[in-house]
Amino acid sequence: MLGTAKVDVGTRSAASLTFPREHLSTSSPTAQLPNRCYMRIYQTIFRERVSTRYASGQANVYKSTERQRRVSPASVALATVATYSVQSVFLYSFTMRATFVSVALLAAVLPALAAPTNNVPISKYAGPVKSNSYIIKLKEGVSTDAHVNKLISSITNGGKVGHKYDAAFHGYSATLQGKDLDLIRQSSDVEYIVEDGIMSIDYEQGDETAAVVAREAPAVEGLDKRANGAGVDVYGIDTVRFYVLPFTRRSSDSPIGYLHCSLKLRWTCSVYQPYLTFAHPQYANQDGNGHGTHTAGTAVGASYGVATSANIIAVKVLSDAGSGTNSDVIAGINWAATQARSSGRPSVANLSLGGGASTAVDSAVSNAIAGGLHFAIAAGNSNVNAANTSPARVAAANTVGAVDSSNRKASFSNYGAVLDVWAPGVNILSAWIGGTTRTNTISGTSMASPRVAGYIAVHIGNSGGTPAAVSSALKSSARAVVTGAPSGTTNLLAQPF
């Protein structure tokens, strides 16, 4: 026996059902009904003279127009729906567009439709990541505190909030998985979510110290001593955190040699919990790597630096192994942006680090620049186009590639249209850890970037200027002498300006 498809007509009254007028007498009451709800199944039966089957046998439902006049619209609808077979539905649904869905099918489909469909996708990071750690960008107008407090009260699967950002990035970092992560993905507060990638320093050991000393000294001595960065703060966002006596502008000589004697320290911050930190406390009070000390020496050091009277503010975002998370780097940028804004002093930050493309890191740098903080950023040491690396690809920053003593592109240096200038980055001599007079010779775009940071510090100490204006002046004063750069890459060598 053929099955029967049923449709619930709900609470619709007979007066709301409309039928083809060619089958109605003008004297029929139904002829005056409004034509709002066209019932296609009725049209199918009367236009095509379809015969339907009753349980008791075959019979023609309506044999003439005279018969239909005597049938009320509601009766027609109910009788048609109740007796129209599944076979007839499949036969005529395509030609007459009459579609009937069984109650069982609806019961299966509706729960799926009710499931959340606004899950925020998680952007993957091209490189190593911190497991189950994410950076969450909130929509404009959403209160970070209110959102985070709500999240904390709803966490059931061991999730934990890391950093809360304010100045440079509107959002926070968190360790989340399972239901806790789903909760964030379904929140209407969230703009995007990115994996918390790992960044690292960009340098290599050098082996030609003597040649470097002979080349480096004249360039440093040639700087205009009347504009030496006095009153300017240089933020070294790196591996370094110097030991310093509290509430003093002059640094102490640490008994274990953490602070190099050539550096003038205003104050310090480490992004390693606790003590204003964001990771391991064992790294809180020292640079156990040397990279941060070296870059600081190039930017502001008395012996090997450019802006010799500028203040260095050390912001440790990387471990002694030379790597750290994007969330920690953003925290350091956020802290520097906040301090620079509150101090009112001209300020420049150096970022001699990098990693895969990260929208969150780029956004933090861009926002800090918009707030008035200048940036010099290493292009990276992978000999690839820097367009796919962060934060080197930030358009508003000053991205720096490395050249050797012949002003030729260093073999390791990244390149591409995102580079603004080049600077010496091969076999660079500067301060090192292990003693107050220790030095080391290393190579990398990490060594080129702080030189440009020093140039910027000298310039803004003397003339001021917005990040955009200073970046333009930096490039205008540069010399077009760099060789070996791929097509589409600048050949400008940065100069004091």
- Check residue 381 and give its pLDDT: 97
**Cα(21)–Cα(32) distance, integer angstroms:** 9
Tens digit of each residue's pLDDT (9 = 90 or more) over 78-125: 334 334 433 443 334 433 343 344 434 434 433 433 345 579 999 999
- Check residue 436 and give its pLDDT: 82
CA 206 vs. chain centroid, Å, equals: 35
Contacts of residue 83, defined as CB under 8 A and 6 or more positions apart, other chains included, come to 4, 52, 53, 54, 61
Q: Which fold has domain 122-198?
A: Alpha-Beta Plaits (3.30.70)
Phi/psi for 37 (5° steps) reads -125, 95
Stated as kind and residue range, the H or E segment containing 355 is strand 353-356
Residue 237 predicted with pLDDT over 80: yes
- Check residue 118 and give its pLDDT: 72
- Check residue 284 and give its pLDDT: 52
**Would you list the domain boundaries of the chain?**
122-198, 201-243+261-493
Strand duo 398-403 + 421-424: pairing: parallel
- Check residue 269 and give its pLDDT: 52
| Mean pLDDT within 130-144 | 98
Angstrom distances, CA of residue 459 to CA of 229, 307, 495 = 7, 9, 11
DSSP 383: S
Place of tokens 């439709």: 113
Angstrom distances, CA of residue 276 to CA of 212, 271, 285, 330 = 37, 6, 11, 14
| Mean pLDDT within 441-459 | 98
Total residues belonging to the chain: 497
What radius of gyration, in Å, describes the C-alpha atoms of the chain? 36
Tens digit of each residue's pLDDT (9 = 90 or more) over 359-400: 999 999 999 999 999 999 999 999 999 999 999 999 999 999
Q: Indicate the CATH number for domain 201-243+261-493.
A: 3.40.50.200
Strand duo 265-270 + 160-164: pairing: unpaired
Instruction: Please check whether residue 300 is in contact with residue 306, taking contact to mean a CB–CB distance below 8 angstroms.
Output: yes
- Check residue 239 and give its pLDDT: 82
Q: How far apart are the first and last CA of the chain?
A: 94
For 72, other C-beta atoms within 10 Å of its C-beta total 12
Residue 264 predicted with pLDDT over 80: no
| Mean pLDDT within 63-69 | 38
Tens digit of each residue's pLDDT (9 = 90 or more) over 176-223: 999 999 999 999 999 999 999 999 996 665 543 333 333 343 344 445
Residue 53 predicted with pLDDT over 80: no
CA within 13 Å, CB half, 42: 22
**Nearest one of 201, 108, 189, 87 to 142, comparing CA atoms:** 189
DSSP string of 74-142, one letter each residue: HHHHHHHHHH-BHHHHHHHHHHH------HHHHHHHHHHHHS---PPPEEP-SS-EEEEEEEEEEPTT-
**Cα(2)–Cα(51) distance, integer angstroms:** 14
**Cα(65)–Cα(27) distance, integer angstroms:** 13
Instruction: Please check whether residue 294 is in contact with residue 440, taking contact to mean a CB–CB distance below 8 angstroms.
Output: yes
- Check residue 378 and give its pLDDT: 98
**Nearest one of 461, 466, 354 to 418, comparing CA atoms:** 354
Helices vs strands, H then E, count in the chain: 13, 22
Instruction: Please check whether residue 216 is in contact with residue 441, taking contact to mean a CB–CB distance below 8 angstroms.
Output: no
Angle at 473 between CA 471 and CA 479, to 5 degrees: 105
Q: What letters, b where the CB count within 10 A reaches 16 and e where it falls short, cover 341-352?
A: eeeeebbbbbbb
Residue 460 predicted with pLDDT over 70: yes
**Residues assigned a catalytic role:** 238, 291, 446
